[in-house]
Amino acid sequence: MRIKINESQELFDQAAAKVIADCIRKKPAATIGLATGHTPKGMYEALVQLYQDNQVDFSMVKVLNLDEYLGVDLNNPGTCMSYLTERFYKHVNLSKSNIHFFNSEADDYEEECRRYDRHIEMVGGIDLLILGIGYNGHLGFNEPGTKFDTTVHVEKLTDITRTANTWSFGEKDKVPTHGITLGMKNIMHAGKLMLMVNGKKKAGILHEAIYGEVTEALPASVVQLHNDLVLVVDADAAAEIDNIGK
């Protein structure tokens, strides 16, 4: 595990954007899985800036969304797809055909899961997967208790997650009850993981995830078993972790 501790939000955003840019420089046709949420907002801005400064070229890059809410129109501003389109996709030279996303209103969700799994296989796997951590230790929409051998699947969202994500939909009641997500196995099969964590409120769960027992009760603890994990944190989230590899 490599830990990058950043003293400011700006450095945090830039450090995370650099991990993505470095991956693309090394492999211009890389496949990158992308999380949404509060945590990576500034990172996407920093990445767009790198693109505008001609520091990174997305023309051959393939991206796929890590998760999505179910039962809402993809154009709803609260969806992961809208988030990524508005903050990232529409500002860079990604080819439309290289943006892979969930059909949030599929007739058959089981088939949609298998379609996504097949896509990951078809592109040769995920080279770099960007993750955040939920207050309950979730990864993607893999809520506590999710089996480590799951592939793409539908999850019932916990109350904690729906409350935390109220900002996306304006009101908690409007936050969908279910999501579709890469499973724990898909996550562990990614070539490299970047876990981004910021803010004091995440310090406790982060500490538990990286130093505690590896358990399905705390999905993020699985990252301890990944052999290429980069943890990008800010000083607040790092409050309870050893300052190694700064």
User: Minimum distance between the CB of residue 143 and ligand F6R, rounded to whole angstroms?
Assistant: 10
Binding marks (x or -) toward ligand F6R, 134..173, rule CB under 6 A?
A: x---xxx---------------------------------
User: Minimum distance between the CB of residue 207 and ligand F6R, rounded to whole angstroms?
Assistant: 16
Residue (23 or 197) nearer to ligand F6R, CB: 197
143 catalytic, yes or no? Answer: yes
Choice among 13, 65, 67, 68 that is catalytic:
67
Give exposure, 191-230, as e/b (b: 16+ Cβ within 10 Å).
bbbbbbbbeeebbebbbbbbeeeeebebbbbbbeebeebb
Question: Do you know the residue count of the chain?
Answer: 246
Among the listed ranges 16-24, 126-134, 151-159, 203-211, the one in contact with ligand F6R (CB under 6 A) is: 126-134
189 catalytic, yes or no? Answer: no
What is the rounded distance in angstroms from the CA atom of residue 2 to the CA atom of residue 100?
Answer: 29
Binds ligand F6R (CB under 6 A): choice among 6, 14, 31, 39: 39
Give exposure, 47-60, as e/b (b: 16+ Cβ within 10 Å).
bbebbeeeebebee
Binding marks (x or -) toward ligand F6R, 16..35, rule CB under 6 A?
A: -------------------x
Which residue type, as a one-letter code, is found at position 46?
A: A
Dihedral of the alpha carbons of 157, 81, 8, 205, in degrees to the nearest 10: 20
66 binds ligand F6R (CB under 6 A): yes
What is the rounded distance in angstroms from the CA atom of residue 87 to the CA atom of residue 153?
Answer: 26
67 catalytic, yes or no? Answer: yes
Choice among 65, 138, 186, 226 that is catalytic:
138
Residue (10 or 52) nearer to ligand F6R, CB: 10
198 catalytic, yes or no? Answer: no
Binds ligand F6R (CB under 6 A): choice among 13, 67, 112, 234: 67
Q: What crossing angle do the helices spanning 80-87 and 41-52 adopt, rounded to 10°? A: 40
* Pairing state between β 178-181 and 153-156: antiparallel
Residues with a known catalytic role? 67, 136, 138, 143
Binding site for ligand F6R (CB under 6 A): 35-39, 66-67, 80, 132-134, 138-140
